[in-house]
Chain A
Amino acid sequence: MKLRHRDYILNGPGVVKLTPENPEDMWYAYNLIAVGDRLAASTIRKVQRETSSGTREAERVHTRLEIEVEAVDYDNVANVLRIRGKNVTENEHVKLGAYHTLEIDQQRPFSLSKDIWDSIAIDTLKWACDPAATSEVAAVMIQEGLAYVCLVGQSVTTTKMKIETSIPRKHGPAIAGYEKAINKFLENVLQAVLRHVDFSIVRCLIIAGPGFTKDQFHNYMFSEATKRELRVIIENKSKIVLVHASSGYKHALKEVLSAPSVMNLIMDTKAAKEVKALKEFFDMLSNDPLRAIYGPKEVEIAHDRLAIQTLLLSDELFRNADIPTRRKYVDLTDSVKSSGGDVHIFSSIAWSTFRNSSDSEVSTS
């Protein structure tokens, strides 16, 4: 995310001008834009005009609008944000108070003005604008008959394609059918990879899964690459890594990303810390259950007693929450930080939460 202009005070009003650069930035924008904020961007509005001959014509006009946000919608597939709200500035084409939906897309700048810039919002902004943080890893989770092609970012993991086929038995008379079916399956996965993985931005391509299907795919990919002269794959050979996973389902991504060989490639301090924090929580829960708690009420009680050392939160708590609730969680975060504890905010569509999607808080003490 490119930050072009910044003017705010902590816990006070302010305005920022941002330009999203990659799909991950859409997620950060989604977390930043809250109900009640004012968002300005250039957009297209259908305006009805009466021509001299008396007929009504609809014309599409480019204009710059500022709206007061009422609803935010994040489209994971198309990577756009749609924000609906009432118009608050005077505009020759649009009346004050008229509803409009702004679309925030990549490379389209917008300016966001908030009444209160709390610490969470400032942190999100910092993460969004950190150039080192934009690292993407492509992963193919593959098992016999099922494959997912995913793109993993700092806090966003998108599934680009799911391929599923039924592969017949390997015994008896139908054995010829097996070869054909598995080749067709591998071909489909290869096509998906070629289409969705952009090797110029992706740091590496991980092929993971149980058994030997991943090796089969690896071999198939390279033999086809030489046969069909697929430059993309031949040139990026060094970026392709094979990792073992327990299954080909999406939640096995967590195991893949915590494998040491992959960790080196990613080198994301944020991701590494997240993995460690989650693992610590589960270990403590199983070994010493009284010291690990989850659920909003329990965490509040623990906080009253100043007993929280590590606090794990889902970012969903900050999104779409009404002001007092958000205030409460911001205060909680701030006070845990000030008393020397650690706070980790987990993105609700990151790979780490594929494994455990409880939308409440969690804390260890």
Chain B
Amino acid sequence: MEMLNQATEKLKGVDIKTETEKGKHRREPCPPLDTYEPEEWMLETFKQESKQLLHLAIVGHVDAGKSTLMGRLLHILGQVSKKEMHKYEREAKQSGKGSFSYAWVLDESSEERARGITMTVAVAQFETPKFHIVVLDSPGHKDFVPNMISGASQADAAVLVIDACTGAFEAGMEGEGQGVGQTKEHTQLVRSFGVEQLVVAVNKMDAVEYSEDRFNAIKTSLRPFLKHCGFKESGIRWIPLSAMENENLVTQPVNGQMLWYRGPTLLQALDSLEPPVRNVAKPFRLPIAEIFKSRTLGQAVVSGKVEGGAVKIGSKVLVMPSGVSATVKGIEQNGKTCTFVRAGDNADVGLQGVDPACLLQGGVLCHPDYPLPAASLLEVKVLLLETSGPLLRGSQVIIHCHHAKEPAKITKLVSLLDQKGQAIPNKKLRCLLANQRAVIEVKPERGICLEEYSRYKALGRISLRDAGKTLAVGIVTRIIEYE
């Protein structure tokens, strides 16, 4: 019996992937991306676009009111029927969480509702005069930052929700004990994903009696930090509001105490954002965010944001890291079927000819001629955040890239960079300290599918975390070894 157990143990150590080697697409080095020529149908309808698509990540410290704000907004804009809203209100009151009724529009699982927090990124959609907005409601709790990274990596712009209550804003900035609050951590992560536009929604203004002083105090406190992260003043919009009282969300504020505010409402601010650039001219890449089964799309459905290129029903795609070929059986966007999706669209893609076990969160669907193999040794350029402890050669971290996350080891500290980004020569690098910039080599435990930043921006951004803190953010400069 003992031997049987030991034998099963040893079997479990065998990598099943080696069995599928024979049926796999041969791993050739990917040809340079500029040789890719997009097909006619991909660009054609580009001009006929009715509304631009915008991915909006909602981030902020825990209990700032992100889900409630979005739930309220969706309700006002008619995305939630009266009947549904009534149901949420009733159920929320029953479980003693009356104030969470709007948040329940987005927090659907029983766990989330029972605990009153968001755990995974909820996706919802609504329309503004200019955009069709895909909302990515992130968890604010520090344990779920990996999920927040997964969601926010798809974002084109972000809404940072701040709790205006005395003490709450400070907690968001300082955090409890060591480390920063999620206000800071989320902002840094969101900036590292390349987001340049930020709407700062100062929520719960009703609790501070819509005080202009409090709003300005928060603004003064936050502004230098945002600048330090790299946000330009022109990319930030400051909106005071109250989700519970429905002030300044869609209509101009009616409450007498808020007459000092003459700026745009939240909806107007969202509408004034710049549309993102669409990479249709690059080969198809879709980082897999979720895998599930659906009645309409079959047993193997992946969902995520198309970062580049386009696919239509019948297109052949390659599933990485397993290397298996599949065909697109069906495509759905927000529950509606469509025939094709292009860069920037968030879609659910049903695949044919692939075993659902080959699909992994963190994998990537790509163009068959431009495969994206898993990298096992990377050279990255990073910026260590202020809360990071020293990083040595051999330190264990968790590396996050789009939806993938793997434990990894820092194998080499290559060079330290000065303010301008030039390598400081002759500096024997023993360890890295907070706020330093450096080039290091990282070896993940298993291969991660990613691209060098210069080739494909969305797939080249990484963050390093450990012990519940984000240690560093950076970009992949070179892939040294493939798996």
Contact = CB atoms under 8 A, between A and B. Distances in A.
> How big is chain B's contact interface, by range?
35 or more
A161 interface: yes
Interface stretch (A88-96, A127-135, A352-360): A352-360
B430 A252 contact: no
Nearest to A178: B109
> How big is chain A's contact interface, by range?
35 or more
B163 to A, nearest CB: 21
B482 interface: no
Contacts of B119: 170, 211-212
B354 to A, nearest CB: 14
B290 A358 contact: no
Interface in A308-361: 354-359
B6 A170 contact: no
Given A246-B468, A356-B395, A161 B12 contact: yes
A82 interface: no
Contacts, number: 104
Interface stretch (A5-13, A220-228, A266-274, A289-297): A289-297
A160 B10 CA distance: 11
A177 interface: yes
Contact of A170 (B109, B115, B398): B109
B407 A251 contact: yes
Contact of A295 (B292, B398, B430, B469): B430
Interface string B8-26: 0110110000000000000
Interface stretch (B386-394, B448-456, B472-480): B386-394
A173 B394 contact: no
B292 A169 contact: yes
A197 to B, nearest CB: 13
B3 to A, nearest CB: 10
A212 B115 contact: yes
Nearest to B434: A286
A300 interface: no
A177 B109 CA distance: 12
A218 to B, nearest CB: 14
Contacts of A172: 108
B342 interface: no
Given A249-B398, A251-B407, 6 more contacts: A161-B9, A168-B291, A168-B293, A172-B108, A294-B392, A355-B395
**8 nearest A-B pairs in the assembled complex, by CB-CB distance:** A246-B468, A358-B394, A168-B292, A210-B143, A174-B292, A170-B109, A251-B396, A169-B290
Interface of A: 77-78, 160-162, 166, 168-175, 177-178, 195, 210-212, 216, 244, 246-247, 249-252, 255, 282, 285-286, 289, 293-295, 354-359
19 contacts: A77-B9, A77-B10, A168-B290, A168-B292, A168-B293, A170-B119, A171-B120, A173-B295, A174-B293, A177-B292, A211-B119, A211-B141, A212-B119, A244-B143, A247-B466, A251-B396, A285-B390, A289-B433, A293-B430
